[in-house]
Every structure is written in structure tokens, then in C-alpha cells.
Amino acid sequence: MGETALSSGSLASSQDWRRLCFLPVSPERAEAHFIWLIRLGVLRREVDGQGLTERVRLTPMGRRLLAQIQGEIPRAGLRERMLEHFRRRRPRL
């Protein structure tokens, strides 16, 4: 995603999804993740001549965050994943 834009449909139908995701993902679930990352400020919608598209790109902040990580992005542990799940669903807990 660092070099090219990516849509939720292309991510879900991609043959090399294992390189990008831990589990198979539907277009709806990928879009939900994209929206969450847009709210965080890591992704942004790509713009073409007619307005916003369904594709997303990294923001400058997202590029800086990726530049700080050496090698592969480490996977969060069970505790961190559970806490993040609750933060997304119940933000005031």
C-alpha cells in the first residue's frame, strides 16, 4: 500500500492476501478497517478528476510511521487485540 492505492474489493479478491492480512477478509470488513485507519490519520481516500474514489493511500504520517518500523510490522498480542477491539466498539470504556 505504500507505493500504490488499494481498494477494499481489490484487497479481498487479491491472490496474495496473506502478504497483507493475517486472515481472509471480505470487502466490507476491509472497508471497516480502512475507515478506522482513516480516522486515525494513517490512510486517506485517493482523489481523481471526479472526486474521492474507493481506493486509499498512506498519509504522510502513515509513511513516517512505516519508516520507523524496521522489517515486518510485529503482530499485536492477544491482550492488545482484545483491548483494541473494545476501543473500536466501545470507545468510552
* Interval 17-74: pLDDT, tens: 777 777 788 889 889 889 989 988 999 998 888 877 889 999 999 999 888 888 877 8
Asked if the structure places residue 44 within a domain, the reply is: yes
Q: Which structural domain, as residue segments, surrounds residue 85?
A: 8-89
Asked if the structure places residue 3 within a domain, the reply is: no
Q: How many separate domains does the chain show?
A: 1
Asked if the structure places residue 75 within a domain, the reply is: yes
Above 60 in pLDDT, residue 93?
no
Above 80 in pLDDT, residue 90?
no
Asked if the structure places residue 2 within a domain, the reply is: no
One DSSP character per residue, the chain reads --SS-B-HHHHHH-TTHHHH-SS---HHHHHHHHHHHHHHTSEEEEEETTEEEEEEEE-HHHHHHHHHS-SSPPPPPHHHHHHHHHHHH-TT-
Asked if the structure places residue 1 within a domain, the reply is: no
Asked if the structure places residue 22 within a domain, the reply is: yes
Instruction: Read off the pTM.
Output: 0.76
Asked if the structure places residue 41 within a domain, the reply is: yes
